[in-house]
Chains A and B, each alone.
Chain A
Amino acid sequence: MKSAVKTKASPKKVLAKKAAPKSVTLLVATKKGGFILTSDPKRREWTTKGPLYLGNIVHHVMLDPRDGKTMLMATKTGHLGPTVFRSTNQGKTWKEAAKPPAFAKAAEGETGRTVDHVFWLTPGHAGEPGVWYAGTSPQGLFRSADGGDTWESVKGFNDHPMRSAWTGGGQDGTPDGPKMHSIIVDPRDANHMYIGMSGGGVFESTNKGADWHPLNAGCKVDFNPDPYPEFGQDPHCVRLHPQSPDILYQQNHCGIYRIDRTAAGAENQWVRIGEKMPKSVGDIGFPMVLHPRDPNTCWVFPMDGTQVWPRTAPGGKPAAYVTRNGGKSWQRQDNGLPKQQAWMTVFRQAMTADAHNPVGLYFGTTCGEIWASTNEGEKWTCIVRHLPHVYAVEAVEL
């Protein structure tokens, strides 16, 4: 296995600087359209704009932090093919991408792949304005160099000779289709990238996607004959800490993991940090949210992963869990949330944090609610009800 990118960066100290009050905008993707929620500077009052593209299945809406204006929205409908809509004015108006992500046409006599839906959108490196990446189902990686207007296949992954093996070949399938997600660009180096695949595991590239290698050591596949294969894992959400880019966290189908790429001799080894979660709750879930400044603090939102995988809040009692010491211990955060009979699920893109101090947390549910906390999860408030099934929530400042 190739080694990680070598850096001497060490975790920065938590910044105590008080952020100036500023409104937060939530970009909400749902099964029936997109919504934009905007707060007052205290993050207490919220207004809702939308639906955008009512009836479209929207998997992700993202803002380009480099220009603060461009937004992309990944959509399809139940019948029409997948596409990407673009806004260059913070969501005021939208226009379809001229060339949405699509696999290459197969040679005569061969079977080609078709994009079912665009699932994940990631703005590129700060030094590469206009570059975006998109992950699709079935699992494919695409790149745009013009702000999301035209997309090209990342051949280094999509045509990789191991791609079929990595993704399970023709059997690569999860209930709603296998997802390419968690596309991460190292903020120090545009060549250094990670991807997560719900059918394949975590992979790393050190040459801007021209080649990839698995990064799954230590990550369990408890349903597999070999519980520690080189690939074939099911990461649900992978996050890299923006100020300590050698620290990554992963909410996996089989537990919560952390990796420190500077750990001597263990730089390629995931460590399961979910073992300290309460046994009655377990360490299965979809989202993983990192504190924007403290690399030892992150949040998860557990779901029931027992037997037939209900994928609901364990026991019908939803709660976030936070660790402030890199996973050595976890604390339950359910103040304000329903105490019983709440069978919600929070999907992998549907929980996020803002940059305020204290950090604001937000999550959207399969029941169409958006919940917010202005004090790092100490108390939750439902800020919107009755939206469609929420797929993704991103917090930005416009």
Chain B
Amino acid sequence: MKVIIPSPLLSYTNQQKEVDAAGTTVADVLADLNRSFPGIRFRMIDEQDAIRPHMKIFVNGEQVFALTTSLNSTDEVHILQALSGG
């Protein structure tokens, strides 16, 4: 499925703003993403498997909060870095 990458993480994806990843849950997709682009997951997800405070994940335009959220192969995952500060 298509995964949209925020600008702070483009250094991991060779500057690709859209990449492909596979999986039936958000956790699976992030794990697949990390296989393709080592290190990218830990910048978004902490060691307790929580989404870091300023990172947001949307699936088909709806924000999801659990890595266990199920996905279909046609879904679009959009990773955002939340705006914060001035």
Interface residues of A (CB under 8 A from B): 77-81, 83, 96-98, 100, 102-106, 111-115
Residues of A close to B39: CB separation below 8 A: 83, 96-98, 100
Q: Mark B70-86, 1 if CB is under 8 A from A, else 0.
A: 00000000000110110
Interface-side segment among B15-23, B24-32, B50-58, B61-69: B50-58
Which of B8, B42, B44 contacts A100 (CB under 8 A)? B42
Residue contact B47 to A80, C-beta cutoff 8 Å: no
Q: Other than the known A80-B9, A96-B38, A114-B47, what 17 A-B pairs have Cβ atoms closer than 8 Å?
A: A78-B84, A79-B54, A79-B55, A79-B82, A80-B8, A81-B45, A83-B42, A83-B43, A100-B39, A103-B47, A103-B48, A105-B47, A106-B48, A113-B48, A114-B48, A115-B46, A115-B47
Q: How far is the CA of A79 from the CA of B81 in the complex (A)?
A: 7
**A-B CB proximity, top 6 nearest:** A102-B47, A79-B54, A80-B43, A114-B46, A112-B48, A81-B43
Q: Which residue of B lies closest to A97 (CB)?
A: B39
Q: Which residue of B lies closest to A114 (CB)?
A: B46
Q: Which residue of B lies closest to A81 (CB)?
A: B43
Residue contact A77 to B8, C-beta cutoff 8 Å: yes
A50 to chain B, nearest CB (A): 17
Which residue, A81, A97, A111, has most C-beta atoms of chain B within 10 A? A81
Residue contact A112 to B8, C-beta cutoff 8 Å: no
Residue contact A81 to B48, C-beta cutoff 8 Å: no
Residue contact A104 to B82, C-beta cutoff 8 Å: no
Residue contact A105 to B49, C-beta cutoff 8 Å: yes
Residues of B close to A83: CB separation below 8 A: 39, 42-43
Which residue, B45, B47, B84, has most C-beta atoms of chain A within 10 A? B47
Across chains A and B, the number of contacting residue pairs, with CB separation under 8 Å, is 54
Q: How far is the CA of A98 from the CA of B42 in the complex (A)?
A: 10
Residue contact A102 to B42, C-beta cutoff 8 Å: yes
Total interface residues on B, using CB and 8 Å? 20
Residues of A close to B8: CB separation below 8 A: 77, 79-80
> What are 18 A-B pairs with beta-carbon distances under 8 A?
A78-B54, A78-B84, A79-B8, A79-B81, A79-B82, A80-B8, A80-B55, A81-B45, A83-B43, A96-B38, A98-B38, A98-B39, A100-B39, A102-B42, A102-B47, A105-B48, A114-B50, A115-B46
A112 to chain B, nearest CB (A): 4
Residues of A close to B84: CB separation below 8 A: 78-79
Q: How far is the CA of A112 from the CA of B47 in the complex (A)?
A: 8
Residues of A close to B43: CB separation below 8 A: 80-81, 83
A248 to chain B, nearest CB (A): 33
Q: How far is the CA of A83 from the CA of B46 in the complex (A)?
A: 11
Using known A-B contacts A98-B38, A98-B39, determine if residue A81 contacts B49 with beta carbons closer than 8 Å. no
Q: Which residue of B lies closest to A101 (CB)?
A: B47
Q: How far is the CA of A104 from the CA of B8 in the complex (A)?
A: 26
Residue contact B47 to A104, C-beta cutoff 8 Å: yes
Residues of A close to B44: CB separation below 8 A: 80-81
A67 to chain B, nearest CB (A): 24
Q: Which residue of B lies closest to A102 (CB)?
A: B47
Residues of A close to B81: CB separation below 8 A: 79-80
Q: How far is the CA of A115 from the CA of B49 in the complex (A)?
A: 12
Q: How far is the CA of A326 from the CA of B3 in the complex (A)?
A: 61
Residues of A close to B9: CB separation below 8 A: 80
A259 to chain B, nearest CB (A): 35
B47 to chain A, nearest CB (A): 4
Residues of B close to A113: CB separation below 8 A: 48
Q: How far is the CA of A81 from the CA of B48 in the complex (A)?
A: 12
A86 to chain B, nearest CB (A): 12
Residues of B close to A102: CB separation below 8 A: 42, 46-47
